[in-house]
Structure 1
Amino acid sequence: MDQLARRLGVPDAVVIGLGSMLGAGVFVVFAPAAAAAGGPGLVAALALAGFIAFCNATSSARLAARYPESGGTYVYGRERLGPFAGFLAGWGFVVGKTASCAAMALTIGAYLWPGQARPVAVAAVLAVTAVNLRGIGKTATATKVLVGLVLAVLALVAVAGAGDVSLDRLGDPGGSGRGVLTAAGLLFFAFAGYARVATLGEEVRDPERTIPRAVPLALGVVLAIYLVLAVVAVGVLGADRLAGSAAPLAEVVTAAGLPGLAWVVRAGATVAVTGVLLSLLAGVGRTALAMARRRDLPGALAAVHPVHQVPHRAELAVAAVVILAVALGDVRDAIGFSSCTVLVYYAITNAAALTLGREPGRKLPVQALAVLGLVGCLLLAVNLPLSSVLAGFGVLAAGAAWYALRPARR
């Protein structure tokens, strides 16, 4: 069986985790989350989503150290809970993250050239795929550059808006009143990249040491950044203005009296979302590789490039589906749909982690965190907007039906 090369150390793994998360929460989901929960609720929802992500990260790290190969929870579910659980996790991940890729690509188009968003989005998918096909080392290097630029832009927003933060705006409930759970489910979309390191487990050096360090470190850094920017955004704009903004961080800079810097923030948004898309496509391609190795997807997708050592057929197939979704789809419900399927994916992660049992010597109560993660994922999934819940569970049911009928078709 073809194997991938182990090239990633702790710094590279953390950077890929940061690149997977930074951007989505700040530039995409803050506005709908504020509409659901209001100003104070947005901060509470961030904390809740971050805590559930931490529970999931702990379970993911334990499982990835035990099973250091590509595929993430698709592999863990198969090994710990049985083939169907693994298939359901892999199916939910591939479908949900493919929708995320399309949403990210269309966001790039909307920021760069609103009148030609779809052609720009297609070009972005092609460019990012070309980088990923050169190998995971190229992916990590490109992500380092993107993360550095994004951190600089986010620091600019935080500094520019800090002087205009109003305590009255921070206390303004605003929003539509749907609640903290709905907002937390949407905001979970912003944290889902923390486990990209586990998805790339076959390419990490010394996975028993690297993965447990990289995953919580990347998650903690991103949570701190999100909380600071959430306070600044609500404190400067207020809950209702934030909820109605298409480019909230650019609007923060404008409201703070620095409209000339808005273009810098828009450029930073483009860079951030490109970083997310870069890591997303890499992660989905490797899950497709793992599923193809076990014939849960066509076996032809299991090929690894002999020179660059990447799953080139899987990545090209994922890119083709994303381009089709970009050309034909609508991103209005993409975030909710993706959050629903990915929350089910991480519910399976926690269920698999529960089968590992207690681990003497660990400072964290890992079994309790797995229980909280499992319950939290399911709770957030069913509290998403109804259209997202119906679409997400409908696609999962369709995958389950296909899995059940597959032996008869053979």
Structure 2
Amino acid sequence: MDTSAAAAGTGELKRRLGVFDAVMIGLGSMIGAGIFAALAPAAGAAGSGLLLGLALAAVVAYCNAMSSARLAARYPASGGTYVYGRERLGAFWGYLAGWAFVVGKTASCAAMALTVGFYMWPDQAHAVAVAAVVALTAVNYAGVQKSALLTRGIVAVVLAVLAAVVTVCLTRGVADTARLDIGTDATAGGVLQAAGLLFFAFAGYARIATLGEEVRDPARTIPRAIPIALGITLAVYSAVAITALTVLGPGGLGHATAPLTDAVRTAGAPALVPVVRVGAAIAALGSLLALILGVSRTTLAMARDRHLPHALAAVHPRFQVPHRAELTVGVVVAVLAATVDVRGAIGFSSFGVLAYYAIANASAFTLTEGRPPRIVPVIGAAGCVVLAFALPLASVLTGAVVIAFGAAVYGLRKAATRT
């Protein structure tokens, strides 16, 4: 009997990814457009406290990562916190986590696609964004192994570009970079808002957990892959943030529209500017690839439980991917990429993702076997709530309304099934 056909008939996905592939997918999700775009608004909010905001975002991300890793090892199925919340806290909390993830990360997909457009062809940014979504949806449709291979190449290119930026700026720009006294003083509110904005650039490790059904030996692979990916990302972000602060100062960085291109130009290396632009576009493509992959898997899990149309739970008999979910996500993201504003999409996405991780930490707190230390999910959950409500007011209000709408839909459906 054809095992792939059997898997397709039961709606299951093949386990093909090892530790290296899982780490690469996590890096492709995190080391993306966030580091090219989030530094400037974070510096504008925190001033000289930018590095403190980065450290705070990393602490919350680490707690979330450890909680997610333990949960993914216990429940190695597609869907991430949608599954964990359902199993540990009840159906409503699982649904709410899935809803927050799908709507938040769909907005994030649109933001990444628009970032590609603005770097590659600013005058036609929306058209380029739509083309990027179509192309990467096709890649994901062809199978998760092909997506992992492409992600490896993207991560290598982006790391090379960031290494070049750090090296050039710190070797050429040191003589002219006594600028750290420029800028605004740090405030507690500014540091928290910066941490919330920078968290957007850390959030990709969830992609490893949402692929739990396609990872070999998930109880061993996922707890190893998530901290490794997060640690590498923190090291890279710290080096880039210190470099940008050294060259531009907090004031100059806070007002930069393209901080890393401004940094290499200020350091006397204008020839590197086109390389940075290409690197930013490729980084955004890497993030978009992994985001579409993760959103489609959560959509698959919710469709299996009929919280979304059950037709979206179908798995392709040849490519072994949730093809209807991927196509649906691709269409929705393409429409958003053609119409929305990138800044609004980022703020809304951050709120949704922080809500998602708050539920993940609450779920991890209930574990009795293989549980992280109690303090980890407590700090993670509290940090998520604080950072979510430290975001700009428009993002908080919009996010709260959309999540409340999702909860209301769930309540109406439950009431309808009882009658």
- Fold shared per TM-score above 0.5: yes
Q: What is the CA distance between 1:239 and its match in structure 2?
A: 1.5
Partner of 1:129: 137
Letter paired with 1:89: A
- Distance (Å, rounded) in 1 between the aligned partners of 2:384 and 2:392: 15
Partner of 1:174: 184
TM-score computed with the length of structure 2 as normaliser? 0.94
1:76 aligns with 2:49: no
- Distance (Å, rounded) in 2 between the aligned partners of 1:225 and 1:407: 46
Of 120, 127, 138, the residue aligned with 1:119 is 127
Q: What is the CA distance between 1:366 and its match in structure 2?
A: 2.1
Partner of 1:340: 351
Residues 13-52 of structure 1 deviation map (CA, whole Å, 9 limit, x = unaligned) = 00000000002331121111111001x3111111110111
Partner of 1:47: 55
Q: What is the CA distance between 1:174 and its match in structure 2?
A: 2.5
Retained in 2: the 8 A contact 1:358–1:366? Answer: no
- Distance (Å, rounded) in 1 between the aligned partners of 2:367 and 2:414: 30
Partner of 2:199: 188
* Stretches of 4+ aligned residues off by more than 6 angstroms: none
Letter paired with 1:170: L
Partner of 1:250: 261
Matches within 5 A, 1:5-404: 5-38=14-47, 40-163=48-171, 164-165=173-174, 168-174=178-184, 178-357=189-368, 359=370, 366-404=373-411
Q: Which of 21-30 and 216-225 deviates more?
A: 21-30
Residues 78-105 of structure 1 deviation map (CA, whole Å, 9 limit, x = unaligned) = 0000000000000000000000000110
- 1:8 alignment partner, SS class: coil
Unaligned stretches of 5+ residues in structure 1? none
Residues 259-280 of structure 1 deviation map (CA, whole Å, 9 limit, x = unaligned) = 0110011001011110000000
Unaligned stretches of 5+ residues in structure 2? 1-9
Q: What is the CA distance between 1:327 and its match in structure 2?
A: 1.6
Letter paired with 2:152: K
Residues 367-386 of structure 1 deviation map (CA, whole Å, 9 limit, x = unaligned) = 11111101111011111110
Retained in 2: the 8 A contact 1:35–1:176? Answer: no
Structure 1 pair 66–358 and aligned structure 2 pair: CA distance change class (3 A)? closer
- Distance (Å, rounded) in 1 between the aligned partners of 2:31 and 2:21: 15
Q: What is the CA distance between 1:167 and its match in structure 2?
A: 7.2
- 1:238 alignment partner, SS class: helix
Letter paired with 2:157: L
Retained in 1: the 8 A contact 2:183–2:252? Answer: no
- Distance (Å, rounded) in 1 between the aligned partners of 2:290 and 2:185: 32
Retained in 1: the 8 A contact 2:42–2:50? Answer: yes
Q: What is the CA distance between 1:168 and its match in structure 2?
A: 4.4
- Distance (Å, rounded) in 1 between the aligned partners of 2:146 and 2:185: 42
- Distance (Å, rounded) in 1 between the aligned partners of 2:326 and 2:318: 15
- Taking only aligned residues, the RMSD between alpha carbons, in angstroms, comes to 1.4
Letter paired with 1:22: I
Retained in 1: the 8 A contact 2:361–2:377? Answer: yes
- Distance (Å, rounded) in 2 between the aligned partners of 1:65 and 1:244: 43
Q: What is the CA distance between 1:357 and its match in structure 2?
A: 2.9
Identity of aligned residues (%): 62
TM-score computed with the length of structure 1 as normaliser? 0.96
Q: What is the CA distance between 1:176 and its match in structure 2?
A: 8.8
Retained in 2: the 8 A contact 1:24–1:189? Answer: no
Retained in 2: the 8 A contact 1:41–1:173? Answer: no
Partner of 2:7: none
Letter paired with 2:16: R
Letter paired with 2:323: H
Retained in 1: the 8 A contact 2:78–2:301? Answer: yes
Retained in 1: the 8 A contact 2:50–2:194? Answer: yes
Q: How many residues get paired?
A: 405
